[in-house]
Structure 1
């Protein structure tokens, strides 16, 4: 990638210098992701999950495999205490029933009061006007990280899901934006990274994206910089999926094998296999 405005006489030198700089930044970012993985294993953060019914079991298992401790209650008389005792919160609106609507408000208030990071996964806000309105209201409550796909980004931002639109949207909402797809893009107001790890079968596994958002919350609990935390989580998940795919025959076996490879993942794996630019 080159920057607009480079003059022809010095274009080669500028590109070379920028390439070296980007390579150094990438190495530092991957090293920090490896540090975050070590920290997650050491600290075993508690992540409270409000997620859809289809995703609950896989999300809990993925968090446990990574080294975090999940909780799932949405009971209005206890969720505030659970969130206050957690290290991070994930809010997924895939199953947007009335109990979860109530629980979400209580949980976000508790997370804000406790000063813990929370991740918003605005599932299917592109499917109904009411869901889009609710998603925008949650975004206004200032999540630490917004994890979403291109269709969801377009609804919440009013813009095409293009890399150049991410920093401004992140600045406007004071959040890290993780736009997931074949290549994941992670941006805050000043920084942007592209992550190329993962496997095509991940898109065929129910709850994979939901569990990935919960993993972002887990990493945000151990790295105070949510941009780095988000990159670490998505890289860890992507590398684990690549390793799992080698011993899998399709999405069904990948779902199970991924838990195994995530459990066994170490900093050496990230340092050798992460694809960050």
Structure 2
């Protein structure tokens, strides 16, 4: 470290180092996903199933989607990671989720929780809290969901407190994404407004978080790298799409073609 460097120059160097490091990790994990093809079993909501499967395939991973209680454990056990999404918490999913979670824990597979709309439904919030007690590796949520689970305003500090309390990584998505384990934190400023106008975009993104968690033991790195990949792909797709109708196809094409140079040139990390 150059002790004579101006404060602004030092801050810029630290920012550049974080950006370069996460871009390199994201490129490495994307390459490993394409080479190793991790299997993600996603118990996700009905509206998100098809796009979730297509996003995983575009990234190089292998999806499975059954929610039936008699099958969910078998699929979870043979997967490399498991995603639980509470978007459509119907009776079949309520029965299948605990079976899959138990199988994932028994097999030592990382579990990612996406507590969709827990702020809208006390029964759903209760299910999410039960799942938090099962030790998920990563929780990916938005500000409303964080406020419901954290019990206070959805700030980065609330995300860090939830991460510390439950011994997990919180990936808080928004205009700027925040990934924290309560000690370390990263902020990712990538994305495009059309991502918020297409259903299942965030839900499918949680599946990529799970795919990276299957390959990377550092959960902060896994979650942050996945969000960077998702955000950069969104920016590239947004420049090509003419609206929300063409955006999903452009997004899958961008993700399929994404390379390290794209990540390095677009990444905004602090």
Please state how far the C-alpha of 1:14 moved relative to its aligned partner. Answer: 5.7
Q: Could you say which residue in structure 1 is the equivalent of 2:199?
A: 206
* Alpha-carbon distance in 2 for matches of 1:143, 1:88: 11
Question: Structure 1 residue 99 and structure 2 residue 92: aligned?
Answer: yes
Aligned to 1:120: 113
* Among candidates 44, 53, 56, match of residue 51 of structure 1: 44
Question: 2:80 matched to 1:87?
Answer: yes
C-alpha separation between the residues in 1 aligned to 2:253 and 2:12?
36
CA-CA distance at 1:112 after TM superposition: 0.7
Preserved contact between residue 22 and residue 221 of structure 2 (Cα < 8 Å): yes
Deviation at 1:110, TM superposition (A): 0.7
User: 1:272 is matched with which residue: 256, 265, 268?
Assistant: 265
1:1-277 equivalence runs, <5 A? 16-277=9-270
Q: What is the CA deviation profile of residues 28-47 of structure 1, one whole-angstrom value per residue up to 9, with x for unaligned ones?
A: 12211111111111111000
Q: What does the per-residue CA deviation read over 1:38-81, in whole Å, with 9 as the maximum and x for residues that have no partner?
A: 11111110000000111100110011001000001112222111
Give the conservation status (yes or no) of the 8 Å contact 2:146–2:159.
Answer: no
Cα distance in structure 2, aligned partners of 1:142 and 1:253: 38
- TM-score, normalised with respect to structure 2: 0.95
What's the RMSD between the two structures over aligned residues?
1.5
Give the drift of 1:116. Answer: 1.0
Q: Distance in 2 between matches of 1:263 and 1:248?
A: 16
C-alpha contact (below 8 Å) 1:147/1:180 kept by paired residues = yes
What is the DSSP-based 3-state SS (H/G/I as helix, E as strand, rest coil) of the residue aligned with 2:109? coil
Contact 2:141 2:171 in 1 (8 A): yes
Taking the aligned partners of 2:265 and 2:22, their CA distance within structure 1 comes to 13
Q: Secondary structure at the match of 1:251?
A: coil
Runs of 5+ unmatched residues, structure 2: none
| Aligned-partner Cα distance in 2 for 1:165–1:206 | 26
Structure 1 unmatched ranges of 5 or more: 1-9
Quote the residue 1:4 is aligned against. Answer: none
Whole-angstrom distance in 2 between the partners of 1:32 and 1:121 = 23
